[in-house]
Structure 1
Amino acid sequence: MFAVDTSPRSRTRQYSTSSSSSTRSMAQRDSMDIDSAALLDIQRALDIARNTEGDLDHSVEKYLEEQLTGVWNRLESRPNTYVLSKDEFAIFNYFVGRYQDSKVAEKAIARFWSSYQDTGSS
């Protein structure tokens, strides 16, 4: 059976960006295209982070760190059974270098791929 996050909290967050620089990276331009009340989700935040050259927008960085903390807390609470969702895997994979020596992380990644392959073949 797969673990599913059924908590009422949202995986999106409101954020705003500001920049006075006339030269902006692609990620900064992307984030500026969203108005100040835009919703930030994991995939959007990861896209911005992956395309940022230089310093990552603080609100995007904070959002990603908060999401990672939530994923890691769920993994630690059920280290032998928790199966990451696609979004959880994406956020965890972005920061995987932090957990390269962790057996919990190694097993969680293996469970994700096992479940992903199982569900993708039907």
Structure 2
Amino acid sequence: MNGSTESHEGGYRQAQAATLSTFEALRLARETEEGSENPLVNVVLEIAIREIWSKIQAEPNTCVLTQEEYGVFNYFQNRFQGLEVAVAARRRYWDFRISGST
């Protein structure tokens, strides 16, 4: 077929872990119900958010997320609700985006 993630029936066809990027997993989770429920998509995103959260915790006052990291962090925003370090990370991302520093 043409590499599409959907079968003829319109259902989700699971991609192999080695070929599913964080960006693709995030897109699938956001844009398709099947993607957000897919175990492979969830594993890829869980690995990414753990790495991102570790990065933020390692540099809580200076860490600036990349656009892709911010997308994943934003997807999981409810997980970090009320945590000042998370609020500060979001603020730094937007401050740097607006200033053109990233």
TM-score class normalised by the smaller sequence: 0.7 to 0.9
Equivalent position amino acid for 1:50 in 2: R
Point out where structure 2 has 5 or more consecutive residues left out of the alignment: none
The residue that corresponds to 1:57 in the other structure is 38
> How far did residue 38 of structure 1 move?
6.0
Residues 23 and 98 of structure 1: is their aligned pair in 2 closer, same or farther, counting only changes over 3 Å?
same
Q: State the structure with bigger RCO (CA 8 A, min sep 6), 1 or 2.
A: 1
Q: Distance in 1 between matches of 2:33 and 2:17?
A: 24
**Number of equivalences:** 94
The residue that corresponds to 2:71 in the other structure is 90
> How far did residue 109 of structure 1 move?
0.3
TM-score between both structures, scaled by the size of structure 1: 0.67
Q: Distance in 2 between matches of 1:116 and 1:49?
A: 24
RMSD: 2.5
The residue that corresponds to 1:71 in the other structure is 52
Q: Distance in 2 between matches of 1:115 and 1:40?
A: 29
TM-score between both structures, scaled by the size of structure 2: 0.79
